[in-house]
Amino acid sequence: MKKVKIALLGLGNVGTGVCKILNTNKEEIRNRAGYDIEIAKILVRDVNKKRDVNVPEGVITASPEEILDDESIKIVVEVMGGTDPAKDYMIRAMKAKKHVVTANKLAIATLGDELIGTAKEEGVMLKYEASVAGGIPIIDTINESLTANKIKEIVGIINGTTNYILTKMYLENMDFETALKEAQEMGYAEADPTSDVEGYDAVYKLGILTSLAFGTKVDSDLIYREGISNIKSIDIEYAKEFGYVIKLLAIVKEIDNVLELRVHPTMISTRHPLANVNDSFNAVLLKGNAVGDLMLYGRGAGDLPTGSAVVGDIISILKDNMEIKNEVNKIELSAKQINNMENTESQYYIRATVKDVPGVLGEISAILGNNNVSVLSVIQKSKGQEFVTIVFVTHKTLEGNINKSISAIEQLSSVQKIENVIRVENGIK
């Protein structure tokens, strides 16, 4: 059996998972890869830290040069995260003709151009299946399996932390703060949960998926982003009343050569294929012009699921015999126009606190009507208090019409506050 030496940059959660898998499934991996894999070096910050896995003497190092300058190491696995120094190490590894596997969504989303460009220049392979949706092979599916298709649309639940929180809010009637605290205790959310909760993490992943599926470079800053911290228990209650569930969706659609890109909490029917994706599970629903609707569902994070994707990438490089090749068909990424949110079509849920006086429903309805917003349902439950909650669900309309309506409704003296506006999607079919 041929042998190959690899090195890990990082030995955190994912790195530990990679070690465990290479150890536990040694026999199967050797058969499938055609190589005996030896982890020759692992770069860490603190060589004295106690680790969850047994690593032979001399493997742990704090010196990147021991890896990057070692010609016998053929594959570098970057599982340290962040862009600095991860990007620099990856570039140096590729320039030294090493193949690179990374789980780093931030680096791929923000510096993917440069990284992929270097891989092409050097003729090495750069694989990043683990960077989106953990163990779900969404990148292989787009790159390898759906190649016969024009992909028209992707709708995904690609952040496990927010999905865990929303599931707790929906199924166990927790409020946002309690659910977030529980997610933090379970290790699903970080001490500073901003990246997950405010949708940044999903935006990066959506950018990666979009560049692969639509062959276009996407600037993450241009993706519309809205987190879940404004979702209240009362919104969940109304969602249930309307037969909806609330999910943080990452959406990209191509309409007349314009890309519509957005990450925001969304009400979807309880019968939508994504409605039953609960807890920290992820799922991605794609629409291809040949395959139709295709959904992948699984673990979006965790040491072993993410490690599964990383090790799958290593095996894929080995099955290709680590060939250094100059790509014959370089596909240039074309820049596509990104839709202005004002032109996005959706249904909307609007929750407002209003004075319980006659005529308020009529005033609001008139404003909506004047802005071409047609109302599907309205719920107002008066209890003889000064202020009451009124909730509208609209038919499909342009976001611009909603924004104009909201501005006008906020001016009404009978309206205390527009509490929330949440998009409602019927999903791809």
Site string for its own copies, 91-130 (x = CB under 8 A): --------------------------------------x-
Among 82, 292, 359, 369, binds its own copies (CB under 8 A): 292
Token pair for 74: 């053929």
Closer residue to its own copies in complex, CB, 17/112: 17
Token pair for 220: 């993450």
Among 123, 273, 400, 427, binds its own copies (CB under 8 A): 273
Closer residue to its own copies in complex, CB, 309/391: 309
The torsion angles phi and psi of 180, rounded to 5 degrees, stand at: -65, -45
Site for its own copies in 381-410 (CB under 8 A): none
Stretch that binds its own copies, among 30-38, 252-260, 367-375, 390-398 (CB under 8 A): 30-38
Nearest to 73 by CA among 7, 10, 125: 7
Task: Please check whether residue 188 is in contact with residue 180, taking contact to mean a CB–CB distance below 8 angstroms.
Answer: no
Query: How far is it, in rounded angstroms, from Cα 326 to Cα 306?
Result: 29
Query: How far is it, in rounded angstroms, from Cα 14 to Cα 33?
Result: 21
Nearest to 311 by CA among 20, 58, 10: 20
Stretch that binds its own copies, among 231-239, 309-317, 378-386, 419-427 (CB under 8 A): 309-317
For the CB of residue 311, give the shortest distance to its own copies in the complex, in Å: 3
Among 148, 257, 334, 385, binds its own copies (CB under 8 A): 148
Task: Please check whether residue 296 is in contact with residue 14, taking contact to mean a CB–CB distance below 8 angstroms.
Answer: no
Closer residue to its own copies in complex, CB, 140/345: 140
What's the CA angle centered on 56, arms 50 and 57, to 5 degrees?
Answer: 85
Task: Please check whether residue 387 is in contact with residue 416, taking contact to mean a CB–CB distance below 8 angstroms.
Answer: yes
Does 172 interact with its own copies (rule: CB under 8 A)?
no
Query: How far is it, in rounded angstroms, from Cα 315 to Cα 294?
Result: 25
For the CB of residue 238, give the shortest distance to its own copies in the complex, in Å: 23
CA 12 to chain CA centroid, nearest Å: 21
The torsion angles phi and psi of 142, rounded to 5 degrees, stand at: -70, -45
Token pair for 207: 């950018």
Query: How far is it, in rounded angstroms, from Cα 241 to Cα 235?
Result: 10
Stretch that binds its own copies, among 68-76, 311-319, 372-380, 401-409 (CB under 8 A): 311-319
Scanning the structure block, which residue is given the tokens 């629409």?
Answer: 287
For the CB of residue 171, give the shortest distance to its own copies in the complex, in Å: 10
Closer residue to its own copies in complex, CB, 221/332: 332
Task: Please check whether residue 249 is in contact with residue 157, taking contact to mean a CB–CB distance below 8 angstroms.
Answer: yes
For the CB of residue 225, give the shortest distance to its own copies in the complex, in Å: 27
For the CB of residue 138, give the shortest distance to its own copies in the complex, in Å: 9
Nearest to 149 by CA among 293, 330, 331: 293
Task: Please check whether residue 391 is in contact with residue 409, taking contact to mean a CB–CB distance below 8 angstroms.
Answer: no
Three-class DSSP category at 152? strand
Among 331, 381, 382, 385, binds its own copies (CB under 8 A): 331
Asked about 26 being catalytic, the answer comes back as: no
Does 64 interact with its own copies (rule: CB under 8 A)?
no
Task: Please check whether residue 318 is in contact with residue 34, taking contact to mean a CB–CB distance below 8 angstroms.
Answer: yes
Stretch that binds its own copies, among 44-52, 119-127, 226-234, 285-293 (CB under 8 A): 285-293
Does 296 interact with its own copies (rule: CB under 8 A)?
yes
3-state helix, strand, coil in the chain (%, to 5): 40, 30, 35
Closer residue to its own copies in complex, CB, 297/387: 297
Element containing residue 181 per DSSP (H, E): helix 176-185
Among 74, 218, 312, 344, binds its own copies (CB under 8 A): 312
Stretch that binds its own copies, among 7-15, 63-71, 135-143, 242-250 (CB under 8 A): 135-143
Query: How far is it, in rounded angstroms, from Cα 54 to Cα 247?
Result: 40
Does 235 interact with its own copies (rule: CB under 8 A)?
no
For the CB of residue 109, give the shortest distance to its own copies in the complex, in Å: 21
Stretch that binds its own copies, among 16-24, 89-97, 116-124, 369-377 (CB under 8 A): 16-24
Which residues are bridge partners to 394 per DSSP? 375
Q: Which of 41, 105, 168, 205 does the annotation list as catalytic?
A: 205
For the CB of residue 425, give the shortest distance to its own copies in the complex, in Å: 17
Residues that bind its own copies (CB under 8 A): 17, 21, 24-25, 28-29, 31-34, 129, 135-137, 140-141, 144-150, 215, 271, 273, 275-276, 288-299, 302, 304-305, 307-312, 314-316, 328-329, 331
- Name the residues annotated as catalytic: 205
